[in-house]
Structure 1
């Protein structure tokens, strides 16, 4: 029973239709060999009768009957069932903001939204768009508009982009990248009003701090589960969706539920949360189908894994962020590890930055974030597998990862990140994250930043602070006495491998551990001011 007129489509491909990755939107409802998944397909191939433009309006659980309504004629009928599956999905969030129903304001949820927005892009005269919400869908919508010559404005109520997906220091790197591409960011500003012109079309977006001209607005604030049918049937509803057990049964054992309408089980924290994504919905379908025919399948939960492409940057996360981990009471060790995704001598190597979050007590991996032009996909999936099995950083070293120079360094970036955390855990060195070091700088603390890069590197890029001292790593041992022993020294380089080595050299020269640290991620992961020549 399908309320709409399309049976099955790949909604996650909609931003790529807008960008011109493919021209025919019907590709989203076809199989890989070009067969359209319509009513006839499901009848002939799957043996399933599909009723489109029919809405399920009521469930009589006692008599096991489903009332449906033909939306074309208004006629209602009842269908008996032995088992029932609810897959009502989600709806885009549309808050009660004045002017939200003006023409030119769109959400991106289904095929019809895609065709409407594509046409609006072509017909736009001012070429000015405001994307409200800097989550994954909002970020995926940037590139189609940039490529179409639009002035792109991002409005996000929280202080940085992807605010529930990444930690701030990783998000700031994306924000710098977007700014370099001409994207205007209005973070920390909620929308107060949409103002229309005399024709009833959006002309301006009023935020808490700005007025932005626009003839197109994309609402990408998020989604809420569609729970009306389940609530009406008296099924148990959790804080984030329909409650289901590991077999995806609802509180009624003869009714299953899956996809965006159910709450998810977080394998890291054990909590329930909302994690709508097409990959999980497909897995739910498999598990429910197995159980309908007596195969007794279970779905353990998810680690919140996701990946998005943002103007040439690959951005991914699995597990929980450092901020959320601390909020939940975890004592964590983190690291930021930049590096090439393949050896430097492979021409196709590209940079990536990994942030790893680990429980300091058990060593269990709680989360990982990765971004860069290089391959973050393989690393995030490996981390997701490790996290889902409750693995520790010590387990990472024992994973027999494939190696050949065209694909990865001999010590994969994920293994190196685990090694850095091991070094911190075992007391070999202390570090500061970029955010922590920036706070020290802003507070005017009296300490030294020791930059151990080569003169050529320093000439090309340096930090704009008066407390920076330059001594190449190869000279640190012989020039150690030039450094103060009564001040804290924070060592750094391009990625802070040499920064760590400088700490070890200074320790061997009698400097005290509590006055030595290195900068996590070095200048490559520094999201603040830099002087580039």
Structure 2
């Protein structure tokens, strides 16, 4: 079996290592156009604020180690064309400029995603940066020492993390968001308001409903002028964090893509061409709360899909179970964790959904200290299925988000959650666990 993997992203690295583990007889070649593999972009904010001292620590795999496993690793090789009918690819060696073809029995497309940069005047200025890969991370760190005023455009996970990192390093930070809330893919408006309040308490200026229309960088040594319908802003540096888009140009006309350009796969992660698999940010993933495929660029999902492709290389062995898009964010002294769908998005998807919110101490008040946790639980009013949850507070509730993720994947109901056996210890929770309590609140609401 001759296997070609295009792109050594999180999904690609996992697919390669798992293939070599499960099918050591396979002939595996990796084509990667960059000079590095496996960069964890979630570490950029950590590097900016010196939590991580060396950016190179954000690589968890090397071309040399992959080669030691028996993989034919082709770094700085750009795949120019795919011919699905001939099971052939055209490749250019970016150093020698030589162009050649290669053939495959199975093709694994793990080309990842790229920063979605709006086509605005001035966006290509050296003072307007994007946040995604290793080299962009280097530019962000280098510019931090010479830029006191920093403006972040976009309030997704990357934008929020960078805003915190710049605030922690004594920068004057402004966050511009085009719509009415932050983290709109992950939280509802009430939780967004709590996050905005936390940012503001730490000196970050937040402007919602403020889409950027242009950047004026005509004067080389002058600050960037940021144009919006709500007025102009000036800043020494701008970092654009307006989301990601799938890298799927190679597959245009070769396999089925959705309207956003993400690859459509089946339960076995095969594309419409059975010899071509796809995983990670290049794909639309089955989102279990709605049972529909959507674009979910998360490393955790990419790794799971890479492992599953390795299992299905010779036949249908492991179904892809879908994802809940479970995430977490450390924001100053507080933790945000989310899983599943928000109420706002559930209603927009036509689901008869509602939510309940638990606010209370995470453990008994007789303990020396405790703190408030906020839990919003989203569920379907028709069948009582759990659809999503959002957690916020100083106490670490990330594993509770994982527990709700399991509940969503297993199609559990609010009744299931209310009566799930959970531990009690005064150091960690209440006699009735907060997950039991928020589910009981949902039952009471329905009754």
One fold, TM greater than 0.5?
A: yes
Question: Offset at 1:102?
Answer: 1.1
Partner of 2:383: 362
| Match in the other structure for 1:42 | 66
**Take 1:157 and 1:337, find their aligned partners in 2: how far apart are those partners?**
29
The 8 Å contact of residues 68 and 78 in structure 1, kept in 2 or not, is answered as yes
**Of the two structures, which has the highest relative contact order with CA contacts closer than 8 Å and spacing of 6 or more?**
2
Match in the other structure for 1:121? 144
CA–CA distance in structure 1, aligned partners of residues 37 and 344 of structure 2? 40
SS in structure 1 of the partner of residue 89 of structure 2: strand
Counterpart CA distance in 2 for 1:29 and 1:383 is 30
Q: Which residue in the other structure is 1:437 paired with?
A: none
The answer to whether the 8 A contact 1:142-1:310 is kept is: no
Specify which of 125, 133, 136 is matched with residue 102 of structure 1: 125
Query: 1:157 touches 1:189 (CA, 8 Å); kept in 2?
Result: yes
Q: Does 1:10 align with 2:40?
A: yes
Distance change >3 Å, CA 108–CA 201, structure 1 → 2: farther
1:236 to 226, 231, 256: 256
Tell me the equivalent position of 1:86: 109
Contact in 2 for aligned 1:305/1:317 (Cα 8 Å): yes
Aligned to 2:4: none
TM-aligned CA distance change 1:116 to 1:247, over 3 Å: same
Q: CA RMSD in A?
A: 1.6
Query: Aligned match of 2:172 in 151, 166, 174?
Result: 151
Q: Which residue of 1 aligns with 2:352?
A: 331
Q: Distance in 2 between matches of 1:201 and 1:82?
A: 56
Distance in 2, Cα, partners of 1:58 & 1:405: 61
Aligned residue pairs: how many? 416
5+ residue gaps, structure 1, are 31-36, 427-533
Once the two structures are TM-superposed, the CA of residue 322 in structure 1 deviates from its matched residue by 1.2
3-state SS of 1:304 partner: coil
Residue by residue over 1:210-254, the C-alpha shift from the partner in whole angstroms, topping out at 9 and shown as x without a partner, is 22221111110000001101115x211113410101111011111
Q: Deviations over 1:84-125 (max 9, x none)?
A: 10011111111111111111111111111111111110222x
**Structure 2 residues not aligned, in runs of 5+:** 1-30
Which position in structure 2 is the counterpart of 1:478?
none
Quick one: distance in 2 between partners of 1:113 and 1:374? 33
Deviating runs (4+, > 4 A) in structure 1? none
1:312 is aligned to: 333
1:158 Cα deviation from its structure 2 partner: 0.3
Match of 2:78 in 1: 55
Taking the aligned partners of 1:73 and 1:367, their CA distance within structure 2 comes to 51
Instruction: Assess if the C-alpha contact under 8 Å between 2:298 and 2:325 holds in 1.
Output: no
8 Å contact from structure 1 (residues 20, 144) kept in 2: no
Find the residue that maps to 1:191 and give its secondary structure: coil
Q: Does structure 2 conserve the Cα–Cα contact (< 8 Å) formed by 1:105 and 1:202?
A: no
In structure 2, the residue corresponding to 1:260 is in which secondary structure?
Answer: helix
- Report the 3-state secondary structure (helix = DSSP H, G, I; strand = E; otherwise coil) of the residue aligned with 1:339: strand
Cα separation, 2, equivalents of 1:367 and 1:8:
30
Query: Matches of 1:200 and 1:98 in 2, distance apart?
Result: 18
**Taking structure 1 as reference, are residues 347 and 54 closer, same or farther at Cα in structure 2, changes over 3 Å only?**
farther
SS of corresponding position for 2:309:
helix
Residues 1:250 and 2:271 aligned together:
yes
- 1:377: how far off? 0.3
Is contact 2:418–2:435 with CA below 8 Å preserved after alignment? no
Verify: 1:373 aligned to 2:394, yes or no: yes
Q: Is the 8 A contact 1:333 1:425 kept in 2?
A: no
Kept after mapping to 1: 8 A contact 2:268/2:316: no
1:404, distance to aligned residue in structure 2 (A): 1.8
Residues 1:180 and 2:204 are matched in the alignment: no
Query: What is the SS of the residue equivalent to 2:366?
Result: coil
In structure 2, which of residues 50, 58, 71 is the aligned counterpart of residue 28 of structure 1? 58
- Distance of 1:330 and 1:372 partners within structure 2: 28
Deviations 1:357-402 (CA, angstroms, capped at 9, x unpaired)? 1222211112111111112202111111101111111001232223
CA distance in 1 between counterparts of 2:361 and 2:443 reads 21
Change (3 A) 1:8 1:330: closer
C-alpha displacement at 1:265, in angstroms? 0.8
Task: State the Cα distance separating 1:268 from its structure 2 match.
Answer: 1.2
Match of 1:119, SS? Answer: helix
Distance 1:251 1:360 in 2: 36
Contact 2:115–2:243 (CA<8 Å) still a contact in 1?
Answer: yes
Alignment of 1:258-337 (within 5 A): 258-294=279-315, 296-337=317-358
User: The residue matched to 2:390 in structure 1 has which SS?
Assistant: strand
Structure 2: distance between partners of 1:75 and 1:408? 63
TM-score, with structure 2 as normaliser: 0.90
2:430 to 393, 405, 409: 409
Structure 1 length as normaliser, TM-score?
A: 0.76
Contact 2:285-2:293 at 8 Å conserved across structures:
yes
C-alpha separation in 1, matches of 2:316 and 2:363: 43
Find the aligned partners of 1:333 and 1:106 in 2 and give their Cα distance: 39
What SS is found at the alignment partner of 2:426?
coil
